[in-house]
Chains A and B, each alone.
Chain A
Amino acid sequence: MLRIDNISKTFNPGTVNEKAALTNLSLDLKDGDFATIVGSNGAGKSTLFNAIAGTFIVDEGNIYLDGEDITFKKEHKRSRVIGHLFQDPLKGTAPNMTIEENMALAYLRASRSSERLFSRISSKDKARFREQLSLLGMGLEDRMKQPVGLLSGGQRQALTLLMATFVTPKLLLLDEHTAALDPATAEKVLDLTKSIVKERGITCLMVTHNMHQALEVGNRTLMMNAGRIVFDTAGEERSKLSVADLLEKFKIGAGEELDNDRVLLS
């Protein structure tokens, strides 16, 4: 499904701020894989996601999605098949537009651009949006005419998740998408994520700083350090691992302790 072949990215090359964010990183994700990623501060987790989503073009290497070489494909074109959620719940929605308008924009992914340019939100669209929103169980289906800016962070993130998966993406990138939410809401959004991903069989990558989540959610765990994947586990080996084992594996792979000031061990 997703094949990353030896990609590298250096920011501010030739300056004192030079930072090799990704170094010869390779990764293969199978169709329906749900991999979690943990790693130290500045390991390149978000950079990896941005490289896949097309926020920047990698310096070296190639990225293939579903057999297609997307290395030089523009961000807005990739977003047709790649969903990307950020830690900041404000990033994924337009605050001054209503819930139904935001959903209509997300629904654009379903159509070839030109045919819907001058269509307005139809009652059929509204019914569809309402049905989808009711799945969240947050009462948003009765607030479709309200601007998104009035929603709480958790509600906005849930809406963003819904929008990203409204038209089933080939790949879903979750960049600590529950980290900025309060524990109860975070759990709700995570449950929602798990059920949507499972139900539709979406291939998914999720960054987390919760070590338990890294082992429990999905079917594969990746650990990153200094722009590389230092540990990759799945299947039976993964199911036997404890958090302590995971930290030990990191130490072996990275040659240093996991240094993440936000990591949750319990």
Chain B
Amino acid sequence: MSSIFTISIFQSALELGCIYALVALALFISFTILNIADLTTDGCFTLGCAVGAMVTLAGHPFLALFAAMLSGALAGFVTAFLQTRLGVESILAGIIVNTGLYTINIAVMGFSSIANLFGCDTVFSLGKDTIGKSFIGDWYKVVIVALIVALVAAILHWFLGTTLGMSIRATGDNAEMVKSSSINPTFTITVGLCLANSLTGLSGSLIAQYQKSADINIGTGMVTIALASLIIGQTLIGNKGSILRRILGTILGSVLYRFIVAVALRLSVPAEALKLVSAIIVAVAIATPYVRKKLALKKREFANYRGKNVGGGAGNA
């Protein structure tokens, strides 16, 4: 078994885990905090990837990160606008924007379904030159993505403690209370979704630079994968603790998910099977508390029934 857990598996799980943790954090904001199932995620991830790839191709890998965040925020804004101003159901708003983004994404990539970044400077190649390969060896990518995620986590933690951040949290926690505290839920939902999708965009941009390519289908199933990470994190850390704890739990969940995937691939599980596995993880994780409650009830019902039979019909009265 020891051969399964090689250093390189740890390394790539850390790299991808940190990058995808940004999407998990996006869902932490929209799904956990705002209590909105934001299905913009898939298309938004591809958008970040496409925008990031094009700006990187133009020779600005750092600008690419910010451009992708901006484009993501824009996508989030459209979703928020549809649901808060035009009365579109929140899930439907996400699906609509997601569908529309396909065309936008293809257009961004110059009406091609693939963009290639080989030979371009990326944040990773530039970072490698800056940090120097000498003492951390191949781990420079891990250092770069970990720094980015740490920065995002720190800013997010700070933000959620500000008045605006608290208003966003309250919007998902008790919408009625928010209105009677002179907070405009339209505004908080909009800010929340823009913020969430900017993180998704950032993640897409990093992936494009990481794998030196972008393709139109890269975001497919991203929302489920991110949810799986989020849920793994919540299961480990619990979803009641402090905000910082939950942010760190989400990142840990994402890294762990990538680790599981890496091990599965190593055990020659076909890559195509991974989406099904993610879907099952999410379905099981979300269904578990409900099923557990049902089972407990059945158990009591059964015990009650048996108790009556043993008592020789004493329960008739």
Give the residue name and chain of the A residue nearest to B174 (CB): A94
The number of chain A residues with a CB under 8 A from chain B is 34
Name which of B161, B164, B166, B183 has the most chain A CB atoms within 10 A of its CB: B166
Cα distance A75–B181 in the bound complex, in angstroms: 10
Q: Mark B181-194, 1 if CB is under 8 A from A, else 0.
A: 11111000000000
Determine whether A134 belongs to the interface, using a CB cutoff of 8 Å to chain B: no
Set of chain B residues within 8 Å of A93, measured between Cβ atoms:
174, 177
Least Cβ–Cβ distance between A123 and chain B, in angstroms: 14
From the candidates A53, A80, A118, A163, name the one contacting B164 in the complex (CB within 8 A).
A118
Interchain CB contact under 8 A, A91 and B182: no
From the candidates A83, A92, A119, name the one contacting B162 in the complex (CB within 8 A).
A119
Set of chain B residues within 8 Å of A124, measured between Cβ atoms:
none
Least Cβ–Cβ distance between A61 and chain B, in angstroms: 22
Interchain CB contact under 8 A, A105 and B167: yes
Which secondary structure dominates where chain B touches chain A? Answer: helix
Determine whether B169 belongs to the interface, using a CB cutoff of 8 Å to chain A: yes
Q: Mark B148-165, 1 if CB is under 8 A from A, else 0.
A: 000000000010011110
Interchain CB contact under 8 A, A53 and B180: yes
Set of chain A residues within 8 Å of B218, measured between Cβ atoms:
none
Set of chain A residues within 8 Å of B164, measured between Cβ atoms:
117-118
Interchain CB contact under 8 A, A80 and B166: no
From the candidates B169, B177, B182, name the one contacting A77 in the complex (CB within 8 A).
B182
Cα distance A164–B167 in the bound complex, in angstroms: 16
Determine whether A120 belongs to the interface, using a CB cutoff of 8 Å to chain B: yes
Interchain CB contact under 8 A, A105 and B183: yes
From A26-34, A95-103, A232-240, give the one contacting chain B: A95-103
Determine whether A143 belongs to the interface, using a CB cutoff of 8 Å to chain B: no
Cα distance A90–B175 in the bound complex, in angstroms: 12
User: How many Cβ-Cβ contacts under 8 Å join chain A to chain B?
Assistant: 83
Which secondary structure dominates where chain A touches chain B? Answer: mixed
Interchain CB contact under 8 A, A104 and B166: yes
Interchain CB contact under 8 A, B180 and A108: no
Cα distance A116–B162 in the bound complex, in angstroms: 9
Determine whether A19 belongs to the interface, using a CB cutoff of 8 Å to chain B: no
From the candidates A84, A96, A121, name the one contacting B173 in the complex (CB within 8 A).
A96
From the candidates B167, B169, B174, name the one contacting A108 in the complex (CB within 8 A).
B167
Cα distance A92–B174 in the bound complex, in angstroms: 8
Determine whether B138 belongs to the interface, using a CB cutoff of 8 Å to chain A: no
Interchain CB contact under 8 A, A105 and B162: no
Interchain CB contact under 8 A, B162 and A108: no
Cα distance A109–B180 in the bound complex, in angstroms: 10
Give the residue name and chain of the B residue nearest to A116 (CB): B163
If the complex has contacts A84-B180, A105-B181, are A97 and B161 also in contact, measured as CB distance less than 8 A? Answer: no
Cα distance A225–B195 in the bound complex, in angstroms: 49
Determine whether A76 belongs to the interface, using a CB cutoff of 8 Å to chain B: yes
Cα distance A99–B164 in the bound complex, in angstroms: 17
Interchain CB contact under 8 A, B182 and A108: yes
Interchain CB contact under 8 A, B182 and A109: yes
Determine whether B299 belongs to the interface, using a CB cutoff of 8 Å to chain A: no
Q: Across chains A and B, which 7 residue pairs bring their CB atoms closest together, nearest first?
A: A94-B173, A80-B182, A94-B170, A117-B164, A94-B174, A79-B180, A79-B182
Residue contacts A-B, CB under 8 angstroms, 23 given: A75-B180, A76-B183, A77-B182, A79-B181, A79-B182, A84-B180, A90-B174, A91-B177, A92-B180, A94-B173, A96-B173, A97-B170, A97-B173, A101-B169, A102-B170, A105-B167, A105-B177, A108-B181, A113-B182, A117-B163, A118-B162, A121-B161, A163-B181
**Chain B residues with a Cβ under 8 A of chain A:** 158, 161-164, 166-167, 169-170, 173-174, 176-185, 240
A79-B181, A94-B169, A97-B170 are known; give 7 further A-B pairs, CB within 8 A. Answer: A104-B163, A104-B166, A105-B177, A106-B181, A117-B162, A118-B163, A119-B162
